[in-house]
Amino acid sequence: MQNPYHLAGKVALITGGAEGIGFGTARVFLDQGAKVVITGRTLENLEKAQESLGINCLIYQNDITDKVSHEDLISFVEKEAGELDILVHNAGKHLKKPSVEVTDEEFQSIIDTNLNSVFALTRTALKVMVKRHRGSIVFISSMAALYGLEKIIAYTSSKTALLGMTRALASEYSNTGLRFNAIAPGFIESKMLAKALDTDQERKDKVLKRTPAGRFGKPEEIGLAAAFLASDASEFITGICLPVDGGNSIGF
Task: Count Cβ atoms below 10 Å from residue 42 Cβ, excluding itself.
Answer: 11
Query: Which phi and psi angles does 188 have, rounded to 5°?
Result: -110, 135
**Catalytic residue status for 155:** yes
Biggest alpha carbon–alpha carbon distance for the chain: 57
Of 60, 147, 155, 173, catalytic? 155
- For residues 211 and 19, what is the distance between their CA atoms, to the nearest angstrom? 24
SS (H, E, C) 28-86: HHHHCCCEEEEEECCHHHHHHHHHHHCCCEEEEECCCCCHHHHHHHHHHHHHHCCCCCE
Which residues are tagged catalytic?
A: 155
